Structure 1
Amino acid sequence: MFAVIKTGGKQYRVAAADVITIDKVEAEAGATLTFPVLLLGGETTAVGAPLVEGASVVGEVIEQSRAKKVIAFKKRRRQNSRRKRGFRAEQTVVRITEISGLGKSVKAEPAATKTEGAPAAEAAASA
């Protein structure tokens, strides 16, 4: 099951356990967010007008970060005129935990914890 959600003036196609980067939302790491659903897809498709009734997408905030710097450099040749400006957008990283609607609900598996012995076990298994 997948959904199309709207946040920050943009639309995103998401499924359970997806990690997406969206425009900044005021929330602490670990907080849950609920997004408006524009479309639900799967075995059957539900298109909202403008939203799908009774459908919801829940996500958990992983972190607040900043995007890569974008440099705006302008130069007028032979005029000794240059201007350099930089911009870093603030963004929020969200993990989709649940999609529900159309009488169905899909939940993401809990995030796997990293163990120190995992790479050694994989190397031993492949040898």
Structure 2
Amino acid sequence: MYAVFLSGGKQYRVKKNQVIQIEKLNDPTGSIVEFKNVLMVSNKDKTEIGCPFLNGTKVEACIENHGRSKKIKVIKFNRRKHYKKQQGHRQHFTSVKIININHIEK
């Protein structure tokens, strides 16, 4: 069984006991988070798609840690114009472990 949910403007496909990195959440480490914006749930034989979300369906996850991803370099350069700009960026993330996918079948 897997589910697709929406968090931080991105969609994530998850299974039970999977660890994923999502956009930073402001909850403390060890707390339980519920994602109620579930777009799709699929079993082996049945798939349900929301319009846009499934009512009564939620994904429960436990926050494992917070961190920052690897640095990316942003370089802007115009040749023969004496223009060069370098900038670095490290995106904040929250690592969560999916505990359960609660789905009420219709």
Which residue is 2:53 aligned to? Answer: 51
More strand by share: 2
- Give distance in 2, aligned partners of 1:76 and 1:54: 53
TM-score by length of structure 2 reads 0.90
Q: Deviations over 1:14-69 (max 9, x none)?
A: 00011111111111110111112111100311111111111111000011101111
Tell me which of the two structures has the higher relative contact order, counting C-alpha pairs closer than 8 angstroms and 6 or more residues apart. 2
Q: Unmatched 5+ residue regions in structure 2?
A: none
More helix by share: 1
Give, in angstroms, the shift of residue 2 of structure 1. Answer: 0.5
- Give distance in 1, aligned partners of 2:13 and 2:50: 14
Matches within 5 A, 1:1-127: 1-35=1-35, 36-42=37-43, 43-103=45-105
Aligned-CA RMSD value? 1.2
Q: Matched residues, percent identical?
A: 34
Please tell me the residue identity of whatever aligns with 1:25: L
SS at 2:102 equivalent = strand
- Give distance in 1, aligned partners of 2:82 and 2:56: 61
Q: Unmatched 5+ residue regions in structure 1?
A: 104-127
TM-score by length of structure 1 reads 0.76
- Give distance in 2, aligned partners of 1:79 and 1:40: 54
> Aligned residues, how many?
103
After TM superposition, which residue ranges in structure 1, 4 or more long, deviate above 2 angstroms?
Answer: 78-81
- Give distance in 1, aligned partners of 2:78 and 2:12: 39
